[in-house]
Amino acid sequence: MNNRELIRLENVAKYYEMGEAIVKAIDGINLEINKGDFVAIMGPSGSGKSSAMNLVGSLDLATKGDIYLDGLNIEHLPESDLAQIRGRKIGFIFQQFNLVPNLTARENIMLPMLFQDIDESEREARADELLELVELSDRANHYPGQLSGGQQQRVAIARALANNPDVILADEPTGNLDTKTGEKIMKFLEELNKKGKTIIMVTHDAELAKKHARTIYHVKDGRVERITKSRKKK
């Protein structure tokens, strides 16, 4: 890991109006993530960690505060520019996999590249390279419904890597997997981190965070309650 800052949140808040009430999902957080780090955003259900993930991943804009991605304040960008930056810089792995059911494994992996105007032959070659990386070359033409949970998650990881992003944002990446399969997925994320990818994992699992993350942001009631560092090395 180097010390170059990749993501910074400054006094960020996210409020929602629920009738006459205002729900403070995030209520003023500060967060810094360096290139090559393995970070966990941890907290119980309702703590605000998913809202924090959406802000870190630029899936949502803050009610107030500033969010910097690679030195650029993204809070003032039009959605079209934001979508392009997000597509290039961040790969997403979701707990529910979020694969398109009527697309094959290869087509799911190719999809993010389509939005970056990469030509078809290059998309196909990159998808096949990633299928080999996640050891699913023999499942390239299978649909999500024909794959196990672990296989679907590996396709989701390959899709997240399609545009070679700097950051992999993983939302409860083992949440729908059995223990053994979950350990394989975490080992794969660690290997990606060793190759230089910045990993941000959202989890409620303290043991998972302690075992894999070097920096843990403990979130409660929409605030960062504390930050802990582990002695884990690359």
Q: What is the chain's mean pLDDT, rounded? A: 91
pLDDT the model gives residue 167: 94
Hey, is 1 helix, strand or coil? coil
* Cβ–Cβ < 8 Å for 213, 223: no
Owning domain of residue 58: 35-64+78-229
Instruction: Tell me if 30 is assigned to some domain.
Output: no
Query: Who contacts 78 (Cβ-Cβ below 8 Å, separation ≥6)?
Result: none
Choose among 191, 229, 234, 215: nearest CA to 41. 215
Task: For residue 29, tell me if it sits in a domain.
Answer: no
Residue 169 placed within a domain: yes
In a domain, 71, yes or no: no
Query: Shortest CA distance to 88 belongs to which of 6, 163, 161, 168?
Result: 163
pLDDT at 230: 80
21 lies in some domain: no
Inform me whether the pLDDT recorded for 99 exceeds 60.
yes
Residue-level pLDDT at 145: 96
Q: Determine which helix (DSSP H) or strand (DSSP E) holds 156, and give its type and residue range.
A: helix 149-160
Q: Which helix (H) or strand (E) holds 192?
A: helix 179-194
pLDDT tens, residue by residue, 43-88: 988 899 989 988 988 888 899 999 998 888 988 888 888 888 888 8
Reduced to 3 states, what is the DSSP secondary structure of residue 103?
Answer: coil
Residues above pLDDT 90, as percent of the chain: 68
Examine residue 17 and state whether it is found in any structural domain, yes or no.
no
Per-residue pLDDT tens over the stretch 202-233: 999 999 999 999 999 999 999 999 999 886 65
The CATH number given to whatever domain includes residue 143 is 3.40.50.300
Instruction: For residue 19, tell me if it sits in a domain.
Output: no
Phi/psi at 203 (nearest 5 deg)? -155, 155
User: pTM higher than 0.75, yes or no?
Assistant: yes
Residue 54 inside a domain? The answer is: yes
Please tell me whether residue 137 adopts helix, strand or coil conformation. helix
Q: How many domains, in total, are found in the chain?
A: 1
